[in-house]
Amino acid sequence: MTFLAPWALLAGVLAAAGVVALHLVARRRPASYPLPTARFVPDRRTLVSRASRRPRDLLLLLLRVLLILSAAAAFARPVLTPRRSAIARILLLDRSAAVANPAEATRRARELVSDGVPTRLIAFDSAVAVLGEELGVLDSLDRVPPTHGGRVASVSALMAAARRLGSEIGAGADSVELTLVSPLTDREVDAASDSIRALWPGRVRLVPIAATPATRAMPPLGRAVRAEDVLGPALGGRTVREDTHAVRLVRGEPSGADSALARSGGVVVRWDSIGTRTAVPLAVAMGDDVVVATLARTSRDSDGVVLARWADGSPAAIERPLGEGCLREVAIGVPVSGDLPLSPTFQRIVNGLTDACASVRVDAGMPLDSARRAAFIGPARAARGSALANSAERPTPITSWLLGVALACALLELLLRRSYGEPGAAEAA
Amino acid sequence: MTTGAASYGALLDAVRGVRWPARRRATGATIGAHRSRLRGSSSEFSEFRPYRQGDDPRRVDWRLLARSDRAYVRLTTDRATMRTEIILDASASMAFPPVTLERWQRAREVAIGLAAVAHAESDPVGLSIAAEAPVRIPPRARRSVIAEMIRAVETVTARGSSGLAPLLASSRAARVAVITDLLGDAEELLAASRLALAAGSEVVLLHLLTLEELDPPAEAQLAVDPEQPELRRSLDADGRRRYRAALDSWMERAQGDFRAAGVRYVRALASESAARIVRRVAADAPADE
């Protein structure tokens, strides 16, 4: 236990000593002496003080000293300081689709935690899960497949969670090591990552592991697109094979064969409004790509994963899982005239809408370059626990109890003093 | 402390022969030891005075008339008695110091001594005690009056705060001796004295003090007025100094006031012997002789 305001305790001790000293000074009324000419004595106080070897009114003294010390101890703000260790560790284990081999990541994590340092585990993919210190958790992680459609993780959210956890465990350790087991790709780092990373006052130990390859071929289209189709320029270069089960672009209601394709793992893209002649200026966004053009807008059922949105936030393209594949509906009407299909941005949107299902699509990005990685790792020293902890002390109810004791002593002292009557009256008798 | 008439024997012996002349001519009709305002037929020749119309022809000195052919009246000096009353303060403040009660004891002795002196000159003497139950023995000249007074003072205890002024105002004596510490109704007593003096009486005030009052003992740290118990004052070093100054001032003021009014003020200490105090009271020569 320690005191946040030790001067209050010191002041209380001094005050208690003063009370004891006052109790050693016996103020009593002297014995009366009948003097007929007392009227000529000037009217002054009738109490005299003298020093005593033993304090008087021991019970009153005890109550007063207890009152003062209790109040002083309460005002000194006692807190319980937890037992500290030299170092603690926060292990950040990447479980996102960016990790090429999750088993390898778990193995590396197990190697790290085998040194006996108290470790808190944060497993993250697109979500962040703070786990305990049990090493068995690592084994269970091996059996959990990556979630959320293979999306990569957000380092910003991860660092925020790590900072919160650091605030909790920082009070119990002199330093906190933050270890990140991740390929750390550029898709995992966003614009806010640097500022959030700066909130961690120390080094991030990076244990790199292999990332899922970021470059891959777009899945082949399974149906021919006529040369005059407005999407033709946008799909230029894509392989068209009639017998493929990858992606099928359809117009109108999908047929039974289309549904069978989707159930077997393919992608059926229903894109009706191709070649529309009634278009107005609209904006559509998909990921980081935004296109502002004369487009036609049709209504679609919004039940599904939104892939693209209109400027007002309403879905422009959705995807619904169907069997092992998915069915995708696009409500973006492309005008028959204009050079929109030639726009690189629009081509990226079209490729994205004709890409594989989101549940199996992986785009982990490229590993960070050395400069950004070094900046992310930061200084050579691990974060100090005191710098992380909001307060090194935990609040304790003892302050309330001390104040209660002081109040009780004050009441008892008042009652006792009243029972004694006027101070010194007993001695004057 | 001895009590009873026997204890006053030594005092009565000590004051035997002491004279207590009146300061004014006595107006009593009975022949006594004091000069009378009347000049008449006594045998003590004083002087001759030419006869005036209206003089008693029997007082004309016929032999001188025969020799000188002038009519002279023979004047003589008359002596008369003086009704004397002793007023004794028996308030609680007189019972001081607390253990010895020296002031009360001395006041009783002086009262008896003065009464004995007056009685020895054939003066009718009486005693009034301002006690909680006032005692009044009217002036008498018979021999047993002193013994009666002794019994009276021995039965009274000094307590309470009875006033002296009513007793003085109701007194018809030609000479009144008040024995007091002046710690009671001093102002009223001064007013009553003025009235008595205006009526032709002689007033003697014996202010009886004690050494303990003038210099309170060291153990007197908390002074309590016996007549006003709620009056409690602390006597520290500075308080003692200021107390003495206030007491001296008060005594001087009281002496000045009473003397200015015509009262014969005598201050005495209770530690003095009663006979000495009696002699001091009685020794002064008459003022108008």
CATH of the domain at A110: 3.40.50.410
Q: How far apart are CA A352 and CA A346, in angstroms?
A: 10
What pLDDT sits at residue A15? 94
Identify all chain B residues contacting A47, using CB atoms and an 8 Å cutoff. Answer: 234
Domain count, chain A: 3
Task: Give the minimum alpha-carbon distance from A423 to chain B in angstroms, rounded to a whole number.
Answer: 17
Is B235 part of the contact surface with chain A (CB cutoff 8 Å)? yes
Same domain, A200 and A261: no
Reading the block at residue B141, the tokens are 């000249």
Q: How far apart are CA B273 and CA B95, in angstroms?
A: 17
Identify all chain B residues contacting A425, using CB atoms and an 8 Å cutoff. Answer: none
Average pLDDT of the segment spanning B148-171: 91
Is A1 part of the contact surface with chain B (CB cutoff 8 Å)? no
User: Any idea which residue has 């962040």 for tokens?
Assistant: A128
User: Any idea which residue has 């994205």 for tokens?
Assistant: A352
* Range among A57-61, A211-215, A334-338, A360-364 with highest mean pLDDT value: A57-61
Report whether pLDDT(A215) > 90: no
Residue of B nearest to A32 (CA): B222
Query: pLDDT tens digits for A17-48?
Result: 998 888 887 666 677 888 888 888 888 765 56
Task: Give the minimum alpha-carbon distance from B176 to chain A in angstroms, rounded to a whole number.
Answer: 25
Residue A14 lies in a domain: yes
Residue A170 lies in a domain: yes
Is A36 part of the contact surface with chain B (CB cutoff 8 Å)? yes
Residue A37 lies in a domain: no
Residue A131 lies in a domain: yes
What pLDDT sits at residue A429? 34
Report whether pLDDT(A83) > 80: no
- Between residues A106 and A410, which one has the greater pLDDT? A410
Residue A359 lies in a domain: no
Same domain, A97 and A205: yes
Report whether pLDDT(A66) > 60: yes
The dihedrals phi and psi of A204, each to the nearest 5 degrees, come to: -110, 115
Query: pLDDT tens digits for B3-40?
Result: 455 678 899 999 888 888 887 776 766 766 677 666 56
* Cβ contact A35–B220 (<8 Å): yes
Same domain, A91 and A57: no
Task: Give the minimum alpha-carbon distance from A426 to chain B in angstroms, rounded to a whole number.
Answer: 16
Report whether pLDDT(A116) > 80: no
* Cβ contact B224–A34 (<8 Å): yes
Of B112, B152, B136, nearest in space to B9 by CA: B112
- Between residues A228 and B204, which one has the greater pLDDT? B204
What pLDDT sits at residue A427? 43
Range(s) of the domain holding residue A247: 232-353
Same domain, A156 and A119: yes
pTM of the model: 0.46
| Mean pLDDT estimate for chain A | 78
Residue A224 lies in a domain: no
Query: pLDDT tens digits for A134-167?
Result: 556 666 666 555 544 455 677 888 888 888 888 8
Report whether pLDDT(B287) > 60: no
Same domain, A349 and A257: yes
HSE (side-chain half, CA atoms, 13 Å) at A194: 7
Identify all chain A residues contacting B100, using CB atoms and an 8 Å cutoff. Answer: none
Q: How far apart are CA B162 and CA B184, in angstroms?
A: 8
Report whether pLDDT(A380) > 50: yes
- Between residues A256 and A144, which one has the greater pLDDT? A256
The dihedrals phi and psi of A189, each to the nearest 5 degrees, come to: -105, 130
To which H or E segment does residue A374 belong?
helix A370-377
Contacts of A274 (CB under 8 A, 6+ apart): A229, A230, A231, A251, A333, A334
Interface test with A, best of B219, B230, B233, B242 (most A CBs within 10 A): B233
Same domain, A349 and A368: no
* Cβ contact A32–B224 (<8 Å): yes
* Cβ contact A29–B222 (<8 Å): yes
Same domain, A175 and A253: no
- Percent of chain A scoring above 70 in pLDDT: 78
Same domain, A74 and A99: no
Residue A227 lies in a domain: no
Same domain, A370 and A305: no
Residue A254 lies in a domain: yes
Q: Which of A333, A353, A373 marks a domain boundary?
A: A353
Burial class, B21, CB count within 10 angstroms (exposed 0-12 / middle 13-18 / buried 19+): middle
Is B221 part of the contact surface with chain A (CB cutoff 8 Å)? yes
Of A10, A59, A67, A48, nearest in space to A404 by CA: A67
Same domain, A12 and A65: yes
Same domain, A75 and A91: no
ipTM: 0.78
Is B271 part of the contact surface with chain A (CB cutoff 8 Å)? no
Lowest model confidence (mean pLDDT) among A393-407, B168-182, B267-281: A393-407
Task: Give the minimum alpha-carbon distance from B180 to chain A in angstroms, rounded to a whole number.
Answer: 12
Interface test with B, best of A28, A35, A50 (most B CBs within 10 A): A35
Nearest Cβ partner of A38 from B98, B181, B225?
A: B225
Same domain, A193 and A277: no
* Range among A227-231, B77-81, B270-274 with highest mean pLDDT value: B270-274
Domains annotated for chain B, with CATH where assigned, are 3-23+82-282 (3.40.50.410), 34-80 (no CATH)
Grade residue A423 by pLDDT with cuts at 50, 70 and 90. Answer: very low
Identify all chain B residues contacting A49, using CB atoms and an 8 Å cutoff. Answer: none
Average pLDDT of the segment spanning B99-128: 92
Report whether pLDDT(B57) > 90: no
What pLDDT sits at residue B288? 41
